[in-house]
Structure 1
Amino acid sequence: MNIDPSNSPLSAEQANGLNRLIETLAPHQFDWLAGFIAGHQAATAGAQPSASPGAGEADASLPSLTVLYGSQTGNGEGLAETLGEKANALGINARVLDMADFKPRQLKSESFVAVIASTHGEGDPPDNALDLYEFIHGRKAPSLKHLKYAVLSLGDTSYEHFCQTGKDFDAAFARLGATAVVDRADCDVDYDDDADAWFTALLEQLQNEAGASGIPTTSRVENAPAAETATYSRRYPFMAEVLDSQGLNGRGSSKETRHIELALEDSGLAYQPGDSLGIYPQNDPALVAAIIEALALNPDAPVTAGDVDTTLAVALKHHRELTLLTRPVVEKWAALSGDETLAERLGDNKALTEWLYGRDVLDLVQGSPVNSVDAQTLVDTLRKLPPRLYSIASSQSAVDDEVHLTVAAVRYENEGRDRGGVASTWLADRLTDDTAVPVYIEANKHFRLPEDDAAPVIMIGPGTGIAPFRAFMQEREEREAEGNNWLLFGDRHFHTDFLYQSEWLAWRRQGLVDRIDVAFSRDQGEKVYVQQRLRENADDVWRWLERGAYLYVCGDAERMAPDVHQALLDVVMQESGKNLEDATDYLRELTRQKRYQRDIY
């Protein structure tokens, strides 16, 4: 739709210029521009967010609130801080605590507790939530009949045990006699709107407890980046220019890993080693076209995707998840298609999980055809396309207004058709010099270098798990840190898959890196992995730990991380003489001291 100068307040020159600009904008750019204009209007008019009388000052008549977060990557922590800010702005005395810093027995003295908990792996709680999680599920858990609570769960519906940690917290509190203030909310990867609604319901209820009613609300537009501040975030990403993209694997490798550099100039974005970069990807146009063709739809059919009015083709390319299937999507499609076989799969979690693996939306629409479906129904059936997180492979102290990534292209064949990961293949195959990548920083305070530059560091990162450790070494080099550094790295073949080999060997020659132990699984008859290197060097690992080393693990959560954790338990038992229970407590204490940190996915 074009702007007509004859029925708008714009001049012909302004209208034509704006029309030309709008035609070039990608959906994320359009979203950002709308927020930018709204923020600029508010700033120019001197508008202030509405607030209740005495906002920001604790009101003795309102209840106090303790917000506890269990977060593996930082999403839960960010939401907890937002809830705390909203509560304090209403005069509610709120404090926000990492579960690792909260003494479980203190629950007996709390009145109102909000739990924000993420889930990782096979329904496991985050590392910082383990003590509280085990306490409320153990025999020493007290009666909590005096306590009122609320739970916000974070998860991913593409996993079988969706939001399991939050569900477990909710059930445990209820079993101990606590009363839920509001119903638990289980949020998928696109959690913003659901979390906002839960915040509003909780804070209204807390005010009602004191006889107050209603709370001020803020709209999505009011959170937009204002012209003066240009605050880019998960909701309003920065459009980053691609500076460089080059392969890291040698000729003949069975893997494809790329080093990608993006420009952050003029973004105001800052990050620390250990943080992640969120990227909003684009689906493969060929997959989009195949789905539209399979359903005999018009690619130019007008649809609404969330709060964006666009065409079907654009909605499927930019706004909807196509390469992964989740239970809610399958449930909706089963109702549309009337496919009895699909309905039977939904009744068997194990069978459904096995069937979902490796399949995409095209498999669903071809395997379970519908008599007729319109474009808007298709868009409403599919999950919103969430951002993908990548561990940052650079230190801003070393690269300034750049951010570097280490991306493994995910490619596989299933049911006779080639498939690919949505973000990794976009970044590997379809970036051009003029491509703008929508990005934001996802802070991860649970994966940080020690403040003491003299502290030793052990880094375990096979494959692309090496990414944050490249950032660690760049940072320690810039800080002239004196602490010892030990890398344990693994991949398939030494000659083709030693990622950033020249950099690591140069750091070793310079004395920044004291030790490198590698495990290339396919270079000999029997496969070798990093956990075996840990066991082989158990005496050295133990000596480093006993003199204060910080231990970091990055990479696959399903197999590598549990195997490495078991190897560390074996090391502790072998070298200290501890039994399994005491060795587990030893590693747990390292976690409490922030000396055992994991970035696993």
Structure 2
Amino acid sequence: MNADQHGLLARFAADADNTALLWASGYLAGLAQALTPTPLAAATAPAAAVQPATILYGSQTGNAKRAAEALHASLQAAGLPARLVRADAYATRELAGEKLLYLVVSTQGEGDPPDDAIGFAEFLHGKRAPKLAQLKYAVLGLGDSSYADFCGIARKLDARLAELGAARVQALGEADLDIDTVAAPWREQALGHARELLKPAPTAHLATVTPLRPHAAPAWSHEKPFAAELLANQGITGREFKGTGFRQYGAIDKDVRHIELSLEGSGLAYEPGDALGIRHRNPDTLVDAVLEATKLDGGIAVEHEGASLPLSRWLADKRELTRLSRPLLATLAERANASELAQLLEPGNPALAALLNDHQLIDALRRWPAAWDAQALVAALRPQAQRLYSIASSRKRVGEEAHLTVDVLRYRAHGFDHLGAASGFLAALEEGAQVPVYIEPNERFRVPLDAGRDIIMVGPGTGVAPFRGFVQERAETGASGRNWLFFGAQHFNTGFLYQTEWQDALQKGELHRLDLAFSRDQVESPHTDVRALARDPHRKIYVQQRLRERGREVYDWLQSGAHFYVCGAIGMGKDVHATLLDIVREHGGGDADAAAEYLSNLQREGRYARDVY
């Protein structure tokens, strides 16, 4: 290759995901084969190739992607033709010609699709969706039964495919946090159907191609985390926080920690936008509260899943002790003979969502006392859920470290103090302690490869964490594009996270614009409607109001090629999305449908990315 060809190939390889690389390798091999004279002995045409199965996945935190990759590997190992495609990389026009489709999708929040599947879900439920009488399909949903609409988007997509005429080859799989309990048998069943519907792909005429980039399993994972040393655990909330009490729901006190961890010797690598997974230990106060509520002895040995441990160890290290789930509540209702709880669990009861949002496990155990034995309790509780924190640093600046921004959950409800399991675990650690960690990549949440692109970042509260890494990364690489941050909190004095760093970045030209929204302070900016504020002095100001005030400039930046990022709570993400729709409609001169299509195009182009939770 000449220098230009080599440069083009290197840039493509740096940006492409595994699916694109494998497709390109086959495409290039096919071109090369077409230009190579074919020996007469090999000229006999092979049997017609079977159309491969398509495995389509939508994933927010990586679990659905891994489940889809496992299915793809199983089909390949069986010699069955299959392709693996992320939902936002799928050409929806191809759906009309598909013969066998496996859809693996996680649910985000209350029944919503993950960000990379929004476009596919909208297309499937829209007027352009084709009739699919030729299609056979199966859906695997991943969810969290601590949400009322468990696996909601998987159910909707499964039903919609059937409505369009497709034939379901196996029942919808609905996997909870212990994913493999459902995913593994679903995968085996899917493999069985694929063997019936597909034939092994002919291989005699295929070129041998070496992948441009190997796809290897990570060395460290949730099951096998790396022990990172805690280098710093520093409070970054204002001085008004007393740090000793528990706040009521909606109170203003915050305890946010800046945490620095050493990755030295791990081989772990991350990019700004990735998350750090924490394998936490449930706090002793929480374990003791569960033992007291169930009247059980923590020293009792319990055999479960091939392991024998004292009950207290199961509760501390192996089981989820904060988030409720529908199966656990069903078991509790039966053991407590609680008709009230049984009614809450009836399909369609809206009160269940309020219970799941308002109660931790300990609240349910206290509210509906029941006769438990240690074995039954361990079996009823879910495996400990992974906790992911957006990484708040760039390796180019901090080296073999990862920084986190952690809001320590402390509040008082139902007459008792409550503590977040993972955040409480991290808050209690002292320098030198070991923290089990692993990297969870987020390939859709990255700074632009084009260093000249402008970026707009919306990150209220601890949602600002990845943008600290973005700004560091762009400064260290000398990116010429501008950086604009929208940050929000309740109070300037107590909630302006990394205030001095942002001020320093502005002075150095690493951050070009900063817009602030302190919802309880009613800080007036030059764009605030003072008359509206006088009429309603209790009106709260959020980042979406600041975006609306800057709407013309935001739209101009987008029109000039800027990337737009949002990180934080799901509700905030929806509010920001609605505000963006209004901005595009107002300044783009189109209607609501045109504005929605504009944002959908930005998402497909990778210029509108969200990390919401």
The TM-score normalised by the length of structure 2 is: 0.82
Shifted more, 414-423 versus 519-528: the winner is: 519-528
Q: Which deviates the most, 137-146 or 380-389? A: 137-146
Q: Which segment is superposed worse, 139-148 or 590-599?
A: 139-148
SS in 2 for 1:459: strand
Q: Which residue in the other structure is 1:557 paired with?
A: 570
Match of 2:69 among 81, 89, 109: 81
1:342 aligned partner, one-letter code? L
Aligned equivalents of 1:59, 1:599: Cα separation in 2 = 46
1:546 corresponding residue in structure 2: 559
The within-5 A match list for 1:368-447 is: 368-370=368-370, 372-428=371-427, 430-447=428-445
Instruction: State the Cα distance separating 1:379 from its structure 2 match.
Output: 0.6
Give secondary structure in 2 for the equivalent of 1:331: helix
Give matches, 1:443-462, under 5 Å. Answer: 443-462=441-460
Give the direction of change, closer, same or farther, for the CA distance of 1:209–1:585 in structure 2 (3 Å limit). closer
* SS of aligned partner of 2:517: strand
Letter of the structure 2 residue corresponding to residue 592 of structure 1: R
Distance in 1 (alpha carbons) for counterparts of 2:345 and 2:138: 30
Which range moved further: 478-487 or 576-585? 576-585
More moved, 338-347 vs 247-256: 338-347
2:521: which partner in 1? 523
1:263 matched to which residue of 2? 262
Indicate the residue corresponding to 2:366 in structure 1: 366
Question: 1:14-65 CA distances to partner (integer Å, 9 max, x unpaired)?
Answer: xxxxxxxxxxxxxxxxxxxxxxxxxxxxxxxxxxxxxxxxxxxx99887622
Match of 1:569 among 557, 567, 581: 581
d(CA) in 2 for partners of 1:73, 1:362:
27
CA gap of 1:533–1:82, structure 2 versus 1, over 3 A, is: same
After TM superposition, list the pairs within 5 Å mapping 1:33-432 onto structure 2: 64-210=52-198, 231-253=219-241, 254-347=253-346, 349-370=349-370, 372-428=371-427, 430-432=428-430
Which has the higher mean CA deviation after the structures are superposed, 462-471 or 563-572?
563-572
8 A contact 1:62–1:207 mirrored in 2: no
Between the aligned partners of 1:62 and 1:539, the Cα distance in structure 2 is: 52
CA contact (8 A) 1:74 1:445 kept: no
Percent identity for Structure 1 against Structure 2: 45
Match of 2:509 in 1: 511
**Which residue does 1:225 correspond to in 2?**
none
Post-superposition offset of 1:235 = 2.4
Deviation at 1:77, TM superposition (A): 2.4
* Aligned-partner Cα distance in 1 for 2:278–2:180: 16
Q: Would the aligned equivalents of 1:59 and 1:91 in 2 still touch at CA under 8 Å?
A: no
1:172 and 1:459 map into 2 onto residues whose CA distance is: 35
For residues 168 and 156 of structure 1, the distance between their equivalents in structure 2, rounded to whole angstroms, comes to: 16
Tell me the residue number matched to 1:480: 478
Q: How many residues align?
A: 526
The verdict on how the C-alpha distance between 1:147 and 1:534 changes in structure 2, with shifts beyond 3 A counting, is same
Structure 1 position 510, deviation (Å): 0.9
Letter of the 2:166 partner, please give it: A
Whether the 8 Å CA contact 2:299–2:310 is kept in 1: the answer is yes
Provide closer, same or farther for how the CA distance between residues 230 and 345 of structure 1 changes in structure 2, counting only shifts above 3 A.
Answer: closer
Gap change, CA 1:309 and 1:432, over 3 Å in 2: farther
| Secondary structure in structure 2 of the residue aligned to 1:297 | coil
Farther-moved stretch of structure 1 (484-493 vs 132-141): 132-141
| 1:356 CA displacement | 3.2
Q: After superposition, what is the alpha-carbon deviation per residue over 1:428-476, rounded to whole angstroms, capped at 9, x for unaligned?
A: 1x21345322211111111111110000000010000100000101111
Q: What does residue 52 of structure 1 align with?
A: none
- My pick for the range that moved more, 404-413 or 569-578, is 569-578
Distance across 1 between alignment mates of 2:401 and 2:296: 42
* Segment drifting more, 394-403 vs 311-320: 394-403
CA separation in 2, counterparts of 1:96 and 1:502? Answer: 45
After TM superposition, give the deviation of residue 249 of structure 1 in Å.
0.8
Any idea what the Cα deviations from partners look like across 1:81-106, whole Å, max 9, x if unmatched? 33223322222222111212212221
What is the alpha-carbon distance in structure 2 between the residues aligned to residue 134 and residue 86 of structure 1? 30
Deviation of the 1:195 alpha carbon: 2.2
1:121·1:557 contact (CA, 8 Å) conserved in 2? yes
Q: Which residue of 1 aligns with 2:612?
A: 600
Unaligned runs of 5+ in 2: 1-45, 201-215, 242-252, 523-536
Is the CA contact 1:148–1:179 (under 8 Å) kept in the aligned structure 2?
yes
Q: For residue 268 of structure 1, what is the amino acid of its counterpart?
A: G
Q: Quote how far apart the aligned CAs of 1:140 are.
A: 3.1
Please say if residues 101 and 138 of structure 2, whose CA atoms lie closer than 8 Å, have aligned partners that are also in contact: yes
Counterpart residue type for residue 231 of structure 2: L
Give the gaps of 5 or more residues in structure 1: 1-57, 213-227
Give the conservation status (yes or no) of the 8 Å contact 1:62–1:92: no
AA paired with 1:469?
Answer: F
For the 8 Å contact 2:175–2:181, the answer to whether it is kept is no
Cα distance in 1, alignment partners of residues 441 and 419 from structure 2: 27
Read off the aligned partner of 1:330 and give its amino acid letter: L
Quick one: which amino acid aligns to residue 493 of structure 2? H
Q: Distance in 1 between matches of 2:271 and 2:484?
A: 20
Matches of 1:108 and 1:573 in 2, distance apart? 32
Secondary structure of the corresponding residue to residue 357 of structure 1: helix
* 401-410 vs 139-148, greater mean Cα deviation: 139-148
